[in-house]
């Protein structure tokens, strides 16, 4: 365990097993989807999760990234995320699966989902590795065939690892752990 962490919440083996379960469920749910879904990862936090997830999806898919920034180098969301890096894939009339590292307040998820729908996505389902419902301020409104896939429910701790960061550090840890407060206060 990294010395800046209080504890490990999920090991790399637990994460891998849960991603396999999510991939199997998504593959089954979108088996009859035509054209195939587009997986869009929210950079930078979701890059590891996205890579591991799409390698286990048993469907022909398209993958892209979008960048939405709401934290900067702090620990509190500014509640007004900006999209600073758009898509290169045309998502008009396509089913989109938005891949997030963590859903916390819901501001980023809501903003990106609205953006994707404004680009013509026929649906926007969400797959998040971590869900922190105790901090939710904005709830995503799913409609029709849209689905919400969740890896783990996260307690209200500041977590890092497996793509999640503090000031761009700790993303490379293969597990998810609780950062000691003296390293971010």
Q: Report the run of H or E that residue 156 belongs to, with start and end.
A: none
Q: What is the mean pLDDT of the chain?
A: 92
Q: How far is CA 82 from CA 115, 120, 124, in A?
A: 10, 19, 18
Known catalytic residue: 131? no
Q: How confident is the model at residue 99 (pLDDT cuts 50, 70, 90)?
A: very high
Instruction: Given the residues 52, 101, 104, 131, select the one marked as catalytic.
Output: 104
| Residue 71 clears pLDDT 90, i.e. is over it | no
Cα dihedral 30→97→160→134 (10° resolution): -90
Q: What is the pLDDT of residue 80?
A: 66
Residues 6+ apart with CB under 8 A from 68: 42, 81, 82, 83, 84, 108, 111, 112
Catalogue all structural domains in the chain, each as residue range(s) with its CATH number.
5-183 (3.40.50.2020)
Q: Torsion over CA of 109, 110, 112 and 117, rounded to 10 degrees?
A: 130
Residues pairing with 103 in the sheet: 131
Among 78-82, 119-123, 136-140, 168-172, name the one with the lowest average pLDDT. 78-82
Contacts of 158 (CB under 8 A, 6+ apart): 75, 166, 178, 179, 181, 184
- Identify the H or E element spanning 130: strand 123-131
For the chain, give the number of residues: 185
Q: What is the pLDDT of residue 139?
A: 81
Please give the Cα distance from 117 to 119 (Å, whole number).
5
Strands 5-10 and 38-43 come out as unpaired
* Model pLDDT, residue 78: 53
């Amino acid at each position: 365990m990294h010395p800046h962490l209080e504890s490990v919440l999920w090991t790399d083996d637990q994460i891998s097993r849960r991603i396999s379960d999510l991939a199997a469920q998504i593959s089954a749910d979108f088996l009859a989807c035509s054209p195939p879904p587009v997986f869009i990862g929210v950079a930078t936090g979701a890059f590891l999760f996205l890579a591991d997830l799409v390698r286990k999806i048993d469907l022909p898919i398209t993958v892209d990234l979008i960048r939405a920034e709401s934290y900067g180098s702090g620990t509190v969301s500014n509640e007004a995320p900006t999209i600073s890096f758009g898509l290169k894939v045309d998502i008009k009339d396509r089913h989109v699966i938005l891949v997030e590292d963590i859903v916390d307040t819901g501001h980023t998820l809501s903003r990106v989902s609205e953006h994707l729908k404004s680009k013509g996505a026929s649906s926007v389902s969400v797959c998040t590795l971590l869900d922190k419902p105790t901090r939710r301020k904005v709830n995503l409104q799913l409609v029709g065939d849209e689905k919400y896939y969740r890896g783990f429910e996260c307690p209200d701790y500041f977590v890092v690892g497996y793509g999640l960061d503090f000031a761009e550090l700790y993303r490379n840890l293969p597990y998810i752990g609780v950062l000691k407060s003296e390293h971010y206060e």
